[in-house]
Amino acid sequence: MERREVVIVGAGPGGSIAAALLKRRGRDVLVLEAQKFPRFSIGESLLAHCLDFVEEAGMLDAVEAAGFQYKNGAAFVRDGQYGEFDFADKSAVGRNSTFQVQRAKFDKLLADEAQSQGVEIRYEVRVTHVDIGGDSPRVRAKDASGAEYEIETRFILDASGFGRTLPKLLNLETPSAFPVRNALFTHIADNTSAGDFDRNKIHVMVHPRHRDIWFWLIPFPEQRSSIGVVGSKEFLASRTGTPDERLQRLVHEEPFLHRLLANSQWDTPARELSGYAANVNSMHGKGYALLGNAAEFLDPVFSSGVTIAMRSASMAAKVLDRQLNGATVNWETEFEKPLRRGVDTFRAYVRGWYDGRFQEVMFAKVEAPEIKRMICSILAGYAWDETNPFVKDPERRLNAIVQLVRQNAAATPSSATAQ
Ligand SMILES: Cc1cc2nc3c(=O)[nH]c(=O)nc-3n(C[C@H](O)[C@H](O)[C@H](O)COP(=O)(O)OP(=O)(O)OC[C@H]3O[C@@H](n4cnc5c(N)ncnc54)[C@H](O)[C@@H]3O)c2cc1C
């Protein structure tokens, strides 16, 4: 039977970064990827912090040279109010910019970079079973011809994203605390003119009548954009027609997008994803750990998914390398707990977004630049920086700033609009 030191399931950003980081530490790494690359994936707006891991994995030059759309922040639109965050105006020490990427190209680039560093990736090979009962974990894989084979390994990292391979095979899944939401999305030729909107920012628009329904517009180069809407399954189903017709109908209900996309060409079939929020009862066990979405996925509103996947890859690679060197490691205190710290930061603001508190803050005219800088740090991905009070105690800080906004609005009712 084939024996490999580390087997990684999935060659998305989490898998490629983990593979390269382990290889750079001299580890023997085999990545098994079910699909052929390039392949479509959603999750196109990166946060600044994720480039820290791209750099750590020795891939930054390649990513910077690839011609992706520069991104320096996020803009939020509701009822004609416009609030923007520029990553340069954040409190944390860190990067001021990142990219918006077509994931087919981005993920292939990272995987190719990992391969050029010596990582072996087998495409069109699906992991179908794992056995963690013996002394060494075993992985069963099936290739494109249908042939199956087993590999013995010292450790499995599951980076299979929404495939959630180990959570399903080992019965680790628990329901997410968030209600089931759907996303409907596509790529378009936006055909906007220079100056129509800031292409260096993801735009998040709130539906004019439903505060829990929101749209994303993620610009790419050459006047192309990713456009999508997120809402309850029932709400998205309430607009009839094909997925393309429903998406276009919904987009034209939002005045900012209606105006901006007047000349757009809808040239790519829309896709729909349902119930993507997920969780697990543990991110690690004997002989394995879960990275990125294979463990937990919250919600797309703050574009945190790829950053969490890469951060988990970086943390896991360090703990695993020490374990393989013979050290006694504690995956709970060295991996899961510190990783969940930042995930919980995002969780608090996602909750606040949907219950309206965070939107109140974003669209309020409160002159508090210091607070805005701290919030901006989180939006740039620095959600693990405990020197930031909005990371250390997100619920209490969010409630305090909501109180401030409400007091301000009560004192000067006409000024409670736009930042
Ligand atoms: C609607 C929506 C919008 C989003 N927008 C953003 C955004 O703007 N920014 C952002 O950062 N994130 C966003 N995300 C999240 C983002 O998509 C994910 O967090 C990110 O892709 C996770 O990366 P990953 O490496 O963990 O997994 P993935 O990128 O999903 O890669 C997993 C890989 O594993 C492979 N695989 C699966 N099962 C198996 C198996 N059994 N055997 C072998 N291989 C397998 C798959 O083929 C796949 O290539 C969004 C998510 C949704 C649902």
Q: What is the pLDDT of residues 116-173, one digit of tens each?
A: 999 999 999 999 999 999 999 999 999 999 999 999 999 999 999 999 999 999 999 9
415 pLDDT band, cuts 50/70/90, is: very low
Which residues lie below 8 Å from residue 180, measured CB to CB, with a gap of 6+?
232, 233, 274, 275, 277
**Quick one: pLDDT at residue 177?**
86
The answer to whether the beta carbons of residues 329 and 316 sit under 8 Å apart is: no
Ligand 1 pocket test, candidate residues 110, 112, 148, 162, most atoms within 8 A of CB: 162
Radius of gyration of the chain (CA): 22
417 pLDDT band, cuts 50/70/90, is: very low
Q: What is the mean pLDDT of residues 346-370?
A: 90
Between residues 278 and 9, which one has the greater pLDDT?
A: 9
**What is the spatial distance between Cα 194 and Cα 43, in angstroms, rounded to a whole number?**
25
Do the bridges between strand 181-189 and strand 224-232 make them parallel or antiparallel, or are there none, so unpaired? antiparallel
- Any residues with Cβ below 6 Å from ligand 1, and which? 9-15, 32-35, 41-46, 126-127, 159-163, 165, 183, 273, 276, 291-293, 300, 303, 305-307, 309
| CA 360 to centroid of ligand 1, rounded, Å | 30
Which residue, judged by its Cα, is nearest atom 13 of ligand 1?
43
Q: What is the mean pLDDT of residues 349-359?
A: 95
| CA 267 to centroid of ligand 1, rounded, Å | 24
The answer to whether the beta carbons of residues 111 and 54 sit under 8 Å apart is: no
Position in ligand 1 atom list of the atom nearest CA 39: 49
Which residue, judged by its Cα, is nearest atom 1 of ligand 1?
183
**What is the spatial distance between Cα 391 and Cα 381, in angstroms, rounded to a whole number?**
11
Question: Which two structure tokens, joined as six digits, stand for 343?
Answer: 């995930």
Helix (H) or strand (E) holding 204: strand 201-206
Which residue, judged by its Cα, is nearest atom 50 of ligand 1?
43
**What is the spatial distance between Cα 22 and Cα 388, in angstroms, rounded to a whole number?**
30
Q: What is the mean pLDDT of residues 339-366?
A: 93
Instruction: Answer yes or no: is pLDDT of 414 > 70.
Output: no
Q: Find, among 18, 315, 305, the residue nearest to 156 by Cα.
A: 18
> Counting runs of H as helices and runs of E as strands, what totals does the chain give?
15, 19
The DSSP symbol for 401 reads: H
DSSP reduced 3-state for 335: helix
The answer to whether the beta carbons of residues 127 and 32 sit under 8 Å apart is: yes
Instruction: Give the global pTM.
Output: 0.96
